[in-house]
Structure 1
Amino acid sequence: MYKKKIEQYIEAHKQEMLDDICALCSINSERSAYQEGDPFGEGPSRALAQALKMAEEYGFSINNYDNYVGTADLNDGEHQLDILAHLDVVPAGEGWTVTQPFEPIVKDGKLYGRGTADDKGPAVAALYAMRAVKELGIPVTKNVRLILGTDEECGSSDIEHYYKVEKEAPMTFSPDASFPVINIEKGRFPGHVTASFEVSTENARILSIEAGIKINVVPGKAHATITGLTEEEVRPMAEGVTKETGVQFELQAEEDVIVITAVGEGAHASTPEEGKNALASLLLLLDRLPFASCGQTKLIHSLTECFPWNDTEGKALGVAMQAEGSGALSLAFTMLTMTETRMEAYFDGRFPIGGNDDNLLKPVEAKLASHGMKLESPQLREPHFVDGNSEFVRTLLNAYELYTGNKGECNYTGGGTYVHDLKNGVAFGASMPGVDNRMHGADEFAYVSDLVASAKIFAQVIADLCK
């Protein structure tokens, strides 16, 4: 019921929806320093103001929770369904080729730009689903609330703020992953690693290493500054590592200093196998260069042993595991700052149901300690699970099947969404299965057809759950 009307409405409003997405994606909403009235900086607040203005113009009741979260309500009925989306984005990063990060364009059926897939595009698709239900007069008596956060990428303190004053809806979905339904989210094991060592007095040594932009992003670039070696000594080694890992190296020599830049491919830390880790490859190169033995070079060797470039499953740390229904553990070495006396690094692990302190945290802590490294304040975040046979999940799957003709089924993800700590929350859309939309990487995009289909599916879900 209503399928034909919903399809006609969304198709008629497709260009308007794309224009609204582009307006939001033109705003750089990376988190920045706190300032009064802007808890996550000026950019996220601007994006929230723009989105709430859109919602109000389309006739929805809006509310702004101190620039942490904004909401748009379909009606004043009983609270039934929350749609949780976010307007903040990961840093733009480097390597964009189709367009600049905050200059969204449509090309070959894809909408390119930071936030088009994660998560501004899906947020606007949900808003247009609500518009369709409202303007078509589809009879719903219960309320759906679109919740727009501004700190999902940096810890979700925005949603924590919101739920201090509001109750969780009986049903919640977040359009921040892929279809059909993701009812299991892996647990998370973020690691902060430190070490210190004596400064080397040798001529051939490493001066500094710098890599990574966020703990949950596989670095596409990494930099090292070295001294005491010639470009002729470094280049053949770099070419050899490139053949092995696929990561390219740029060398910039000036007097007795060489700056080495590793150029790989960024990826979301939950799917590290989809990228080419520039940091891990850079460490491999540094480990092979003829530096004098010292505390620093020994630590470089330890890092290549604990976080090898071709290990995205935690095998080297002794924590590789797999569970039916929630997949395998993944692990990415994502950030490193090293001086001549100290190292600070981060890794991001995602683990299946069954992971715990005994089989994860303690083995990693012991392994790193054996190499002179300390795991600072380690803590696991438990996996999330919702019954795939519930009426709520079946309704979502039915709507997906209705508009795509594909079989609806439950799945798991290594990515964490806003629903991770909610009792009855799942991820639902907004990309189709198997799509690599380069989320968190350069040239992020969303298929226009996916965004349009998502709006239709979401509208059907609202009609079915809120009637």
Structure 2
Amino acid sequence: MSVDVRKVIEESKEQFYQDLDQVLQVESVKGEPEQHAPFGKGPKAALEAVMALAQSYGFKTKIVNDAVGYAQWGEGEEYIGVVGHLDVVPAGDGWSFPPFKLSKQNQRFYGRGILDNKGPILACLFGLKLLKDLQLPTKKTIRIIFGTDEESGSSDIPLYLSEEKAPQFGFTPDCKYPVVYGERGIVNYEIETSFPEDILRSLGDFVGDQARDHVPDELSVAIAGKNIQAIGKRAPSNAPELGKNAITLLAEKILHEKLVTGQLAEYFSWIVTSLANQHYGEGLGIDFSDADSGKLMITPYQLIKKDGQLSLSVAIRYPVSVTETEVTKELEKHLPLNSQLNVTRRIKSSHFPKEDANVQLLAKVYEEVTGLDGTPVTTTGATYARFVPNIVAFGPSFPGQKGIAHNQDEYMDEEDLLLNMEIYMRAMLKLME
């Protein structure tokens, strides 16, 4: 590329920050479905704000089924797709900065969505604007595609594909570098364990912020009138080793203080021995692994009392060479007495040929810009690459950066955000050539 991309970005970055701040201020957490807003007011408002920005940049725009929008450069029916999302997980507590605003301290940006995924997908949109403004020659049409339900199951994508063709090739800037050609399978289980009614009578409800996207960091329960609380450390559910799980910590505390006996003591002992710091399934006989995708990961994320039962929900990410059936078969051998296993979520693994010419093109761009090894990799995460045909995950996190999304004070270093924009500009230009 003859143009000095870094110089072009540097000259325009303040406008980019203003535009990014505008979109971060939209609290695009999933809400109740409404007419023309299938995932609630927030995600739809973010989509409309971005479409207005894209129009101001001079792109052709369209909103498909009120769920997905795109900004297009070029007129061909076949297109390159860059697919990101505007919905975000709830802010939660404990922020040092306003969660729904772009804040900057010591060359680091903060805000819900700055990394996952408003910052990276808007860097792609603004980067494409810069390329268009340079009037560089291109042969292919490209679309920057904005989803609004990635965090809650990606039910926006079928609504898009029901009206629009899938891209010829593309990427989602919603994972890590280098190019991610494979994503592990995901299965969530609910383990329901039954108890005689009189045994659970002394146990209150479990209270805390429990959701499948993160390791719970605070949980409390009253036992025979005494309140027991455990404080852990929040982390994304696909990086349980970076957190401290309040469920297992609470179980340890209950046992240490000898607050339960008999069947309840056996149950909390099972939680501790099977799950406390056993992030790879070794405590449950499901420690599968393979060369391509590494070790299975398990995260307990919700413990509730209901109708004579204790229900524990766990999220498992298993290697690409393993099947859900194999995981289930082994897990069933290691459950507490009187337990039933139910699948509450399943997403098959995905795999894209790493030898593909476009995958290798992305790897080469990454190597040229960063000087780092661009050998394609796999991930424990789940991205739009599972749901949109012909795309792979590519960025935005660099090697060693893990466990930032979904946390309090979600951040992205200014240097990394601009480096992402450069990588994406060069990648889009190469793909359009």
TM-score normalised according to structure 1 size: 0.88
1:32 has 2:31 as partner: yes
Match of 2:244 in 1: 276
1:59 has 2:75 as partner: no
Deviation at 1:198, TM superposition (A): 2.5
Task: Supply the RMSD in Å over aligned alpha carbons.
Answer: 2.0
The amino acid across from 2:146 in the alignment is L
Distance in 2, matches of 1:429 and 1:215, equals 23
Deviation at 1:193, TM superposition (A): 2.4
Distance in 2, matches of 1:59 and 1:67, equals 21
The amino acid across from 1:299 in the alignment is Y
Distance in 1, matches of 2:283 and 2:200, equals 30
Match of 1:124 among 117, 122, 125: 122
Tell me if structure 1 keeps the 8 A contact 2:79–2:142: yes
Distance in 2, matches of 1:323 and 1:384, equals 15
The amino acid across from 1:269 in the alignment is S
Deviation at 1:214, TM superposition (A): 2.0
Which ranges in structure 1 are unaligned for 5 or more consecutive residues? 228-256
1:408 has 2:374 as partner: yes
1:418-457 matches, within 5 Å, as 418-436=384-402, 438-457=404-423
Distance in 2, matches of 1:343 and 1:99, equals 37
Match of 1:252 in 2: none
Match of 1:362 in 2: 329
For the structure 1 residues 287 and 116, does the alpha-carbon distance in structure 2 shift closer, same or farther, using more than 3 Å as the test?
same
Tell me if structure 2 keeps the 8 A contact 1:85–1:175: yes
Tell me the SS of whatever aligns to 1:190.
strand
Identity of aligned residues (%): 29
1:382 has 2:348 as partner: yes
Match of 2:292 in 1: 325
Match of 2:183 in 1: 185
Distance in 1, matches of 2:412 and 2:381, equals 18
Deviation at 1:295, TM superposition (A): 4.6
The amino acid across from 2:129 in the alignment is R
Deviations, residues 99-119 of structure 1 (Å, cap 9, x unaligned): 132233011121111111000
Match of 2:205 among 205, 208, 214: 208
Match of 1:265 in 2: 233
Deviations, residues 82-126 of structure 1 (Å, cap 9, x unaligned): 111001111212232x31322330111211111110000001101
Distance in 2, matches of 1:77 and 1:157, equals 27
For the structure 1 residues 202 and 382, does the alpha-carbon distance in structure 2 shift closer, same or farther, using more than 3 Å as the test?
closer
Tell me if structure 1 keeps the 8 A contact 2:65–2:160: no
The amino acid across from 1:367 in the alignment is H
1:220 has 2:186 as partner: no
Match of 1:462 in 2: 428
Deviations, residues 252-293 of structure 1 (Å, cap 9, x unaligned): xxxxx3433322211111111111112221122123332343
Deviations, residues 409-462 of structure 1 (Å, cap 9, x unaligned): 211110010012444321111122212361111111011111111111111112
For the structure 1 residues 89 and 427, does the alpha-carbon distance in structure 2 shift closer, same or farther, using more than 3 Å as the test?
same
TM-score normalised according to structure 2 size: 0.94
Segment drifting more, 262-271 vs 113-122:
262-271
Segment drifting more, 101-110 vs 408-417:
101-110
Distance in 1, matches of 2:106 and 2:14, equals 15
1:269-308 matches, within 5 Å, as 269-293=237-261, 295-307=263-275
Distance in 2, matches of 1:283 and 1:268, equals 21
Distance in 1, matches of 2:28 and 2:337, equals 39
Tell me the SS of whatever aligns to 2:164.
coil
Match of 1:234 in 2: none
The count of residues paired between Structure 1 and Structure 2 equals: 433
For the structure 1 residues 464 and 24, does the alpha-carbon distance in structure 2 shift closer, same or farther, using more than 3 Å as the test?
same
Tell me if structure 2 keeps the 8 A contact 1:212–1:334: no
